[in-house]
Copies of this chain bind each other. A is one copy, B any other.
């Protein structure tokens, strides 16, 4: 072992008191805040019978639960299995990928219920929650999972919790500006989730730049089975993305339409990803990194417009383009960002979320600007863009402008927030590992002792353990 170890020697990754303290204190804070603020919304409260009568509903099936619960569960799977397993591609960071994603998401959804609740579901001093709040909390955490992808393998669990705390807060503020102040549509979160989450994460990883990361280069790759585990994540994200983009759309046609558009966009995206993955490799072979990631860009890129009248062929076009952009990004842009801009993006979220997210925002703005009463129907037009009350007189082209403004706001929030949070995470108190120990589970996890030799000895006890 000639390799210089001084950096590793000086890094204290001991979690024993710091991590428990953060977890316990923050969870106690959650309990107190929930105790003060969170109550069941009318559709989850035992007073629902009275509510039903008041709202003149004749059947329990009108409860929002039945409109949204199946989609909620799909989104839930995307956050925990989808993102979690997508990141298990690293050969020795599977525990961290799945486990830390689990931890940050479990904390994040609680904090998101509060933050989003204060902004959107606050009535007479209480946050009233229902299934839509659960979906929105999962969405919010989705943006943290995205940012996690950029810093995967390089941070301590405490850093991840700190990042989650801040990012959820900023997410809620940004979302409030977009949805409430700008009156922007973004049901699948191209802007609020993907653009914001990705540029936030990229800024954080830029600030946490590690010049000696090539010391752990051998651990940045995958092994055969870790690539298969990652495909579990990929496929669940891909399959359930129609639920993601339709989960909080208006009841009826909007949810229906959002699912169809997303289904189409994702299908097209697979074809162009495969095409470019093969084309850009000298031997023409397919690269698992592209199949695992770029195939999903089509879902990101219709996040804003899926519930609009994008039409199936419009969706195919968006998916077509994004498969190309994302794959090309993996081949050319990621190395460039790392070498020139010092942005070390472990999972390539720039290709999967940042660029497709931007495209999604732009497609949304264009689709909104192009809306006509002819295409949507008189009532449908108003319903689709919620052109009521204050917004009664807003025209599609103005809406398109506001949509575009939403992209800019999301970007600014991401850069500013990422810079702030990156600076905080750079403080030398959070227990992150030395460069040479990055992408390695056994810094923070009990890892089962030397696997291969065990299995060997077990079934071949007559063979010598060492020659």
Contact = CB atoms under 8 A, between A and B. Distances in A.
A8 interface: no
Given A40-B309, A80-B238, A316-B31, A67 B60 contact: yes
A338 interface: no
A119 interface: no
A376 B45 CA distance: 8
A387 interface: no
A467 B95 CA distance: 32
Interface string A440-462: 00101111111111111111111
Interface residues of A, number: 161
A256 interface: yes
Contacts of A24: 271-272, 275
Interface string A51-65: 010000001111111
Interface string A74-108: 10110011001100100110110011001100110
A72 to B, nearest CB: 8
A243 B446 contact: no
A16 B284 contact: yes
A391 interface: no
Nearest to A37: B313
A462 B1 contact: yes
B16 A283 contact: yes
Contact of A458 (B99, B295, B444, B452): B452
B279 A16 contact: yes
A11 interface: no
B454 A106 contact: no
Given A46-B253, A102-B235, A452-B456, A15 B285 contact: yes
B446 A65 contact: no
B20 A260 contact: no
Nearest to A138: B263
A71 B66 CA distance: 11
A110 interface: yes
